[in-house]
């Protein structure tokens, strides 16, 4: 049981938002190919690869159901079928304008005005597929608990294998690893113009569920298949 699977949202490949995010991270998660990163004005070009190293492994995405092992007897084909069935019950959600913020110690894109519909969709992904998730191992639980959690987050971690779900969910697209505040500020400045342009010309719509796989611990996550929302 080495592979882990995750349900993410990532824009359609080659769409404007995907092109922006994949090139920012320097990786096409569909075929695990290196992409040219933008030439920054607020950040040293030599720093870009290091700044984006951690999120590059995961690909440009927002988490809906965090990485998990499959429960015994369940196959990836079973998971695909269930994800596709779930997608048929969900309607696309307009995310509205996105903006870059600092979450804890990393930079991410988040909706300016998160909606109740978004929260409901995320909860459906967590609850609707949880019977396919194997419980956390003792080692996985210990790693999760290295970060201090409040009582509710700890409860959610034990119940769903991830603390930031249901009322603690916050959709975000991670753009950097941990950064000092001054460098994070410059990264956010770097984001401002391209993100404003995309908000104006190609508003983000959460229109699909995307199945990603980490084939072995530490390997890059690869995008396996999408299921478009069609309720």
What is the pLDDT at residue 1?
Answer: 62
Are 111 and 98 in contact, with CB atoms under 8 Å apart?
Answer: yes
- φ/ψ (deg, to 5) at 212: -115, 155
Domains and CATH numbers, the chain: 4-113+171-228 (3.90.1140)
Query: What pLDDT is recorded for position 147?
Result: 85
Q: Print pLDDT tens along the chain (231 aa).
A: 689 999 999 999 999 999 999 999 999 999 999 999 999 888 888 889 999 999 999 999 999 999 999 999 999 999 999 999 999 999 999 999 999 999 989 999 999 999 999 999 999 999 999 999 999 999 999 999 888 999 999 999 999 999 999 999 999 999 999 999 999 999 999 999 999 999 999 999 999 999 999 999 999 999 999 999 998
Three-state helix/strand/coil letters over the chain: CCCEEEEEECCCCCCHHHHHHHHHHCEECCCCEECCCCCCCCCCHHHHHHHCHHHHCCCCCEEEEEEECECCCCCHHHHHHHHHHHHCCCCCEECCCEEEEEECCEEEEEECCCCHHHHHHHHHHHHHCHHHECCCCHHHHHHHCCCCCCHHHHHHHHHHCCCCCHHHCCCCEECCCCCCHHHHHHHHHHHHHHHHHHHHHCCCEECEEEEEEECCCCCCCEEEEEEECCC
Residues 100/108, Cβ–Cβ less than 8 Å? yes
Query: What per-residue confidence (pLDDT) applies to 43?
Result: 87
Residue whose pair of structure tokens reads 């300016």 in the numeric block:
112
Q: How many CA atoms lie within 13 A of 65 on its CB side?
A: 29
Q: How far apart are CA 183 and CA 123, in angstroms?
A: 34
């Amino acid at each position: 049981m080495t592979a882990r699977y995750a349900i993410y949202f990532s824009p359609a490949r080659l769409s404007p938002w995907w092109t922006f995010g994949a090139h920012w991270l320097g990786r096409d998660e569909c075929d695990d190919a290196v992409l040219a990163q933008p030439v920054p004005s607020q950040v040293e070009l030599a720093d870009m690869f290091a700044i984006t190293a951690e999120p590059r492994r995961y690909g440009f995405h927002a988490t809906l159901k965090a990485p998990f092992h499959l429960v015994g007897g369940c196959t990836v084909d079973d998971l695909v079928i269930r994800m596709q069935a779930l997608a048929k019950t969900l309607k696309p959600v307009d995310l509205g304008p996105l903006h870059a913020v600092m979450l804890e110690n990393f930079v991410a894109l988040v909706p300016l005005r998160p909606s109740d519909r978004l929260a409901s969709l995320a909860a459906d992904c967590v609850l609707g597929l949880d019977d396919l998730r194997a419980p956390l191992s003792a080692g996985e639980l210990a790693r999760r608990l290295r970060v201090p959690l409040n009582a509710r987050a700890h409860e959610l971690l034990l119940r769903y294998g991830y603390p930031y779900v249901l009322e603690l969910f916050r959709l975000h697209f991670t753009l950097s690893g941990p950064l000092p505040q001054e460098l994070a500020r410059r990264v956010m400045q770097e984001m401002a113009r391209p993100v404003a342009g995309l908000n104006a010309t190609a508003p983000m719509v959460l229109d699909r569920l995307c199945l990603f796989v980490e084939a072995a611990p530490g390997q890059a996550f690869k995008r396996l298949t999408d299921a478009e929302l069609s309720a």
